[in-house]
Amino acid sequence: VGPVNDRLIRALRREPVDRTPVWFMRQAGRYLPEYRELRGDRDILDAVRSPAEAVEITLQPLRRMPLDAAILFSDIVVPLVGIGFDFRIEAGRGPVLDDPVRSARDLDRFRPLEPEVDEPFTLEAVRLLTKELEVPLIGFAGAPFTLASYLIEGRPSRTHDQTKAMMFDPFSPWFALADALADLSASYLRAQVDAGAEALQVFDSWAGALSRADYERYVRPSMTRLFDSIADLDVPVIHFGVGTAEFLPSMRHDAVDVVGVDWRLPLDEAWSRLEDGTGNGVGIQGNLDPTACLAPWPVVEERARAVLSAAGGRDGHVFNLGHGVLPETDPATLERLVDLVHTETER
Ligand code: CP3
């Protein structure tokens, strides 16, 4: 049996829906007082390792507002930690690795992920959640470029210099590293689906640091590897990137149902770039600027209406922000936004 509310799944499959589904990246997070209360200042990886806590945090935003999806509370570095990369996540900063990946020898630090052994807590959280939820649970993983950036830089980076330096160096192990990361993410995704996840999202948050030509040459091959190896899974897949407007068509793959876009490009234009020449449809997720949610409600409302009007009621639209909810966001704004999307798009 599927979830009671299958609006998200239908939209991801570009089927007609009664209302446009809406969820938010980072909907479980620091903008919620109940999240801050529960987490305190422990490393988020502690919370992720406790299935009960991960379940509770995943459910928190759903108790406040009728979101059309839950997203598992975890992090993109979790499978890397599972195979032995000793990341910690610093509050306000992000993942830090003291002993970063720099040379071909570091490839020896990779081994295949054994999800039931390396990530039992994630799979247990997925099983508990899908038993309880009335909306689909989205499982996720990081894309090779974004994961590589954390591994190679050893910390969050704005420019990703070391990562690009390795990528551009013809004698570096870049392609082997990207393939190892594609395999890691593919097994993490498969395990989440086996445990009950009903949709998947692959996050390539930092791919926008690349030109179209470099994305095509250095990143797309590992994305094809990743998506081809999960193509047999019977769940819809979202491929999300930030700053990727210049190479949206390169983000399409046979196994990708919906491309997630940031706020830099209006949805109608994103859609026409994506459909350009292929003839096959694709859905879109997005794309309200998360910083707009810090503005007074009439501004949020006007901008949300602009997103909906650019989507034009097309099948295959999933409403979301263009990136994650900012910690300064007033939860009441997101509550009103969910209501606005549902009311405005009633078919
Ligand atoms: O609600 C959800 O979206 C589900 C949970 C989720 C988290 N991380 C929890 C988290 C998801 C889907 C992620 C993915 C993730 N992690 C990405 C891709 C999505 C994106 O935002 O681009 C990236 C780049 C990371 C790496 C990472 N982890 C960063 C940059 C940070 C932020 C550091 C900070 O404190 O601002 C984290 C930590 C993190 N992961 C938080 C959450 C809720 C916030 C830290 C905290 O609660 O202390």
Tell me what pLDDT residue 33 has: 98
Nearest to 219 by CA among 184, 172, 175: 175
Q: Which residues participate in catalysis according to the annotation?
A: 26, 30, 39, 75, 150
**Structure-token pair, residue 143:** 């894309």
Tell me what pLDDT residue 136 has: 98
Q: How far is the CA of 25 from the centre of ligand 1 (A)?
A: 9
In terms of pTM, does the model score above 0.85? yes
Query: Going by DSSP bridges, is the β-strand pair 283-288/317-321 parallel, antiparallel, or unpaired?
Result: parallel
Amino acid 8 reads L
Ligand 1 and 47: CB distance under 6 A = no
Ligand 1 and 29: CB distance under 6 A = yes
Tell me what pLDDT residue 152 has: 98
Ligand 1 and 28: CB distance under 6 A = yes
**Structure-token pair, residue 91:** 């509050």
Alpha carbon 183 to chain centroid, angstroms: 17
Ligand 1 pocket test: pick from 23, 76, 185, 238 the residue with the most ligand atoms within 8 Å of its Cβ. 76
Ligand 1 and 156: CB distance under 6 A = yes
Peptide bond into 287 cis (omega under 30): yes
335 three-class SS = helix
Tell me what pLDDT residue 100 has: 98
- DSSP state letters, 189-208: HHHHHHHT--EEEEEETTGG
Tell me what pLDDT residue 177 has: 98
Ligand 1 and 325: CB distance under 6 A = no
Tell me what pLDDT residue 281 has: 86
Distance between CA atoms of residues 286 and 260, nearest Å = 6
Phi first, then psi, for residue 40 (nearest 5°) are 60, -140
**Structure-token pair, residue 259:** 């491309």
Tell me what pLDDT residue 4 has: 87
Give helix 267-275 / helix 297-311 axis angle, nearest 10°: 30
Nearest to 239 by CA among 140, 337, 128: 140
Radius of gyration from C-alpha coordinates of the chain: 19
Q: How far is the CA of 313 from the centre of ligand 1 (A)?
A: 30
Q: How far is the CA of 115 from the centre of ligand 1 (A)?
A: 21
Nearest CA to ligand 1 atom 13: 75
Tell me what pLDDT residue 3 has: 79
> Which of left, alpha, beta for 44 (phi over 0: left; psi -120 to 50: alpha)?
alpha
Q: How many Cα neighbours within 13 Å face the side chain of 334?
A: 31
Distance between CA atoms of residues 316 and 226, nearest Å = 23
Amino acid 48 reads V
Tell me what pLDDT residue 280 has: 72
pLDDT (tens place) for every residue of the chain, 347 residues total: 577 899 999 999 999 999 999 999 999 999 999 999 999 989 999 999 999 999 999 999 999 999 999 999 999 999 999 999 999 999 889 999 999 999 999 999 999 999 999 999 999 999 999 999 999 999 999 999 999 999 999 999 999 999 999 999 999 999 999 999 999 999 999 999 999 999 999 999 999 999 999 999 999 999 999 999 999 999 999 999 999 999 999 999 999 999 999 999 999 999 999 986 666 789 999 999 999 999 999 999 999 999 999 999 999 999 999 999 999 999 999 999 999 999 999 99
Q: To the nearest 5 percent, what fractions of the chain are helix, strand and coil?
A: 50, 10, 40
Q: How far is the CA of 326 from the centre of ligand 1 (A)?
A: 11
